[in-house]
A and B are shown apart, each in its own frame.
Chain A
């Protein structure tokens, strides 16, 4: 197995996630795309963990999983709050803070 194949898979997933964050309007879909990005980072961390024969990458990957769980919890709570106040979660419509 080559190092580059895992890193390339991570890069492809990362760019698909970035596309999703930029292109999607629905807030829940944006959160899903962020999950794709976080998973690609985890893949890279574990590949480098094997490459360097160190266990640190596994630790970082576990931390990232925990952070992602917290992020989804708070993010979905915010989405629910926006939905309750606005009856929509289309991010294009949230323009109060536009300068």
Chain B
């Protein structure tokens, strides 16, 4: 059964992209250069978009590319540029107690992996992968403007407040 699973093309694609994402994420939190970290973050976010495509969520994948890889990355690079005198390697990007973070995150990973493997050990995501239907955008919009209309309004206000707040905070008096 395991061999049959491994032969599915989606699984091979998942493995390659997952490896890229994990390596990229590790580089984001270990590299000594803020600009390099931002570029590794692009790898992780693009990999996430590819995984969303594997999960047949095209609209979310495209939104991910537009918002994260497009807009958020530019914001990060602007932030880096505006807050740093020089672009290059820095030695003091970690705080002095950074070693404590390693056992904390490993412990979290251990507990979460144990729970996940315990709960979903060999459960298939979908019984017949051939019938994994694309999610039509119409269904998503029916969902947003139907049962989830109130969160949508709240989100609009959050975005408005964020825009006003960012302008007020960054304004030079």
Using CB atoms and an 8 Å cutoff, list the residues of chain A in contact with chain B.
1-9, 11-20, 22-29, 31-33, 35-36, 39, 42-43, 46-47, 49-51, 53, 55-59, 61-63, 65-74, 76-81, 83, 89-92
Q: Which of B76, B96, B126, B155 has a CB less than 8 Å from the CB of A1?
A: B126
**Is the beta-carbon distance between A16 and B63 smaller than 8 angstroms?**
no
Bitwise interface map of B from 31 to 53 toward A, beta carbon under 8 Å scored 1, else 0: 00010011001001100100110
Q: A18-B104, A23-B98, A92-B96 are in contact. Are A11 and B116 (CB under 8 A)?
A: yes
Chain A residue numbers with a CB within 8 Å of B122 are 2, 4
Most chain-B CB neighbours within 10 Å: which of A35, A62, A79?
A: A62
**Is the beta-carbon distance between B126 and A9 smaller than 8 angstroms?**
no
Asked if B87 lies at the interface with its beta carbon under 8 angstroms from chain A, I say no
Chain A interface, DSSP helix/strand/loop, else mixed: helix
**Is the beta-carbon distance between A35 and B72 smaller than 8 angstroms?**
yes
| CB pairs A–B below 8 angstroms (15 shown) | A3-B125, A11-B113, A15-B106, A15-B108, A16-B26, A16-B29, A22-B101, A24-B98, A36-B25, A50-B125, A55-B140, A56-B143, A59-B144, A65-B63, A65-B67
Minimum C-beta distance from B34 to chain A (A): 6
**Is the beta-carbon distance between B44 and A36 smaller than 8 angstroms?**
yes
Most chain-A CB neighbours within 10 Å: which of B5, B94, B139?
A: B94
Minimum C-beta distance from B103 to chain A (A): 10
Among B123-167, those with CB < 8 Å from A are: 123-126, 129, 132, 135, 139-140, 143-144, 148, 151-152, 155, 158-159, 161-163, 165-167
**Is the beta-carbon distance between B143 and A73 smaller than 8 angstroms?**
no
Chain A residue numbers with a CB within 8 Å of B169 are 74, 77-78, 80-81
**Is the beta-carbon distance between A69 and B67 smaller than 8 angstroms?**
yes
Chain B residue numbers with a CB within 8 Å of A77 are 165-167, 169-170
Chain A residue numbers with a CB within 8 Å of B14 are 1, 5-6
Chain B residue numbers with a CB within 8 Å of A5 are 11, 14, 18
Asked if B89 lies at the interface with its beta carbon under 8 angstroms from chain A, I say no
Chain A residue numbers with a CB within 8 Å of B67 are 65-66, 68-69
Q: Which of B56, B64, B106, B123 has a CB less than 8 Å from the CB of A50?
A: B56
**Is the beta-carbon distance between B121 and A24 smaller than 8 angstroms?**
no
Given contacts A47-B55, A76-B166, 14 further A-B contacts (CB under 8 A): A4-B123, A7-B116, A17-B29, A18-B101, A19-B105, A24-B95, A25-B92, A36-B41, A43-B52, A46-B51, A65-B60, A72-B72, A74-B166, A80-B79
